[in-house]
Structure 1
Amino acid sequence: MEYSFRQAQSEDIPQIWEILERAIQRRKEEGSNQWQDGYPNVSVIRTDIEKGHGYVLTDGGIIAGYCAILINDEPAYANLQGQWLTAGDFVVYHRVALAEEYLGKGLAQKMLLYIEDFARQHNIYSVKADTNFDNGGMLNIFKKLGYAYCGEVFFRGAPRKAFEKVIAH
């Protein structure tokens, strides 16, 4: 399969939202409280795209996955209960989700590798992310890709595990 990674456009919103709705439902079925409080929602996605932060992994004309990528823009990370590996510029990503039919094919890892490429293109060599304590899929991917556990951050009153990966130049 030939995948590509590009900035999301406003016309992608219906496909992106469908992917996120299913991901929200899957988290609920897994017994997680992650994404069960009305976040993320369509207006969050719209804002991601308007600000140029939304990215999609595509398989031809089909959107296989979505994430938001930001540079030095996660206020909660300043209050980490723990220790980051680096103190300089960083890329952070949120709202990683794959379409149902693309699950189990290693595409979340592929998307995170595209995010590392994005960081390098911006001369940034730190990638930071966080996830729920019970999100086994993401925790496993962080481990596989060499992320270091750095501590806890808090979003909307709930603790999350925070990770960082220092990438090669």
Structure 2
Amino acid sequence: MILRKANSEEIPFIWEILQHGIQQRKKDGSDQWQNGYPNEKTIQEDVANNSAYVFTDKNKIIAYSAIIKGIETAYNIIEGKWLNDNKYITIHRVAASDSVKGKGIGSALFAKIEDICLRENIYNIRVDTSFDNLPMIKILDKLNYSYCGEVIMGGSPRRAYHKELPKNI
């Protein structure tokens, strides 16, 4: 499996995966992703900003994530405390294809994101999720992300997580 930057021709495939995620969140009774975000314009902006990544298996896109380098301004205010104030990347808009549900793709995707960080000498990852997104919370707990408190994203409170990566890998 390969994690790589997405291109504009892949936007329809990415949007299809995100729509599955939107429907799943709705089915789970969540308000997350039920207000028109994310949408195709969001993906276009991710691609234009070089933050759109696809996770592929045998050249088939099976998951998507935005990997954002630089400051996430919404994270400047946290009810709680980040592990540190060092350089970090932010993970947003994680979704996997229905065809790979329950196959550990989320954990594998996060492992590949950690590899990218280490290659670029970035040793911190921050991510947030809705309080009711139990599948994402389970992945973050499993992968030893630390719950740091609450941030506001798009006007809604979110659980904020942070992971420090070891520098000696």
2:15 alignment counterpart = 17
State the Cα distance separating 1:6 from its structure 2 match.
0.6
Task: Find the aligned partners of 2:89 and 2:21 in 1 and give their Cα distance.
Answer: 23
Q: CA RMSD in A?
A: 0.7
2:73 alignment counterpart = 75
Task: Find the aligned partners of 2:111 and 2:60 in 1 and give their Cα distance.
Answer: 20
State the Cα distance separating 1:150 from its structure 2 match.
0.3
State the Cα distance separating 1:107 from its structure 2 match.
0.6
The one-letter code sitting in structure 1 at the alignment partner of 2:114 is E
For each residue in 1:59-111, what CA deviation from the matched residue of structure 2 results, as whole angstroms up to 9, or x when unmatched? Answer: 12210000000112310100011100011100111000000001111010011
Q: What is the percentage of aligned positions where both structures have the same residue?
A: 44
Task: Find the aligned partners of 1:165 and 1:64 in 2 and give their Cα distance.
Answer: 24
State the Cα distance separating 1:5 from its structure 2 match.
0.9
- Structure 1 runs of 4+ aligned residues shifted over 4 Å read none
Task: Find the aligned partners of 2:33 and 2:150 in 1 and give their Cα distance.
Answer: 18
Give the alignment of 1:8-157 within 5 angstroms: 8-157=6-155
Please report the TM-score for the alignment, with normalisation by the length of structure 2.
0.97
The one-letter code sitting in structure 2 at the alignment partner of 1:83 is K
Please report the TM-score for the alignment, with normalisation by the length of structure 1.
0.97
Paired residues, number:
167
> Which segments of 5 or more consecutive residues in structure 2 lack a partner in the other structure?
none
Task: Find the aligned partners of 1:36 and 1:103 in 2 and give their Cα distance.
Answer: 20
